[in-house]
Structure 1
């Protein structure tokens, strides 16, 4: 099947396949998404759809499998939610958050990752070491150096903010 033939096939079969998958899933939005995903997957196989092959049957089967897979994932998420309950309310970021993010971005990636995992994700040094593939001693060194660099960067930001505030009062 050439590219042009595939495009024509898509134009003629999409609505029909959505209707069929809708009857299987009971959700028109899910049917549209699943059929679209199946057509995307079929694009790389379009040259194999020749002669006796039935591209519509292949796409319908793939779309049904995609819909079932999504349904199973949703069911698993619901079961987990029922087991664990809703997530606790997370407070909104404070006014200092942009300063911290900007300071973290200026740290070397290894130090930033160690600080975020240890201090913000509540991971132990051993857990950070396992996740990053670095020895615990290296993680401790990265945390120490990163905290010191972060302190200096935040002090710098605080001093510049104070200067801007003082300068704006004299205007």
Structure 2
């Protein structure tokens, strides 16, 4: 299932791939540029940004089917991975190929994160048609409110939510790790969900 999802969201059409590969290659010494980046040279990173930022974003816009916000989120993840894993490359072709691998990996992670948010919201509001909301402004606003309310939860409650709904740990695993009973963990989760739901609905009501 994961492999199918990954293939469906990261495989641009052949015409788009051809267009991307046909872009003019930067007139720069790639070996020197990437070696400088690997050493943490700020000038090298500035040059990388000038040469690749917009090209990288255009590529991700194609991969994400034109969804600009999602493409920019994936771009941020991709750039972080560039910083963490950069090494010297001897050719522009090899370097760009590596960048697109990072981009595709970031897209998969961004889509997984998005689906976790939708599943989490679904538990609160019991929507029957989550996909119908996915392309509307309502999804973005609900995610924004959810994130804001999660941030102000007490640390222990926020940690419990993260472990259960985002790290996908079972109640049994959490109970064993914390020394609490499974019933106590379930009760705490119910209270947290109820509190978050009440806060979000109240904020939505104030906006109408």
**Structure 1 length as normaliser, TM-score?**
0.44
Greater RCO (Cα-Cα under 8 Å, separation 6 or more): 2
The structure with the larger Rg is 1
